[in-house]
Amino acid sequence: QQWYSSSMKVICMWLGDRLDLQLHIYQLKTLIKIVKKTYRDFRLQGVLEGTLNSKTYDTVHSRLTVEEATVSVTDAGGLQGITMKDSDE
């Protein structure tokens, strides 16, 4: 749980430092993969939903979703199928 929380905090702080900058497409694709994989792996390890869906995770998820929407409008096909939407949905 501590490792998951720390990982999300680092990503959240990194995104916060770049709040006024749009992410490059490669940064966005990489972060989406990291966040989704981290979330899924820790969910499979039995980390509680309250820890997984923390305020920090919500902040990261929201920012990446907004960045994803921006890229989809400005650069058609730029993410090549990589999305924050969970495949379970």
> For the chain, what is the domain count?
1
82: in domain: no
83: in domain: no
61: in domain: yes
Confidence (pTM): 0.83
46: in domain: yes
Helices marked H in 1-89 — which ranges?
2-17, 25-44, 49-52, 55-74
Percent of the chain scoring above 90 in pLDDT: 63
30: in domain: yes
Residue 59, amino acid: T
Q: Is the pLDDT of residue 55 over 90?
A: yes
Predicted confidence at residue 70, as pLDDT, reads: 85
The residue whose two tokens read 């501590």 is 2
Neighbour-count burial for 26-35, b at 16+ CB within 10 Å, e otherwise:
eebbebbeeb
Average pLDDT over the chain reads 87
Q: What is the dihedral of CA 62, 83, 4, 63, to 10 degrees?
A: -20
Q: Is the pLDDT of residue 39 over 60?
A: yes
- Give the model's confidence band at 27: pLDDT under 50 very low, under 70 low, under 90 confident, else very high: very high
The number of angstroms, rounded, from the C-alpha of 59 to the middle of its chain's C-alpha atoms is: 9
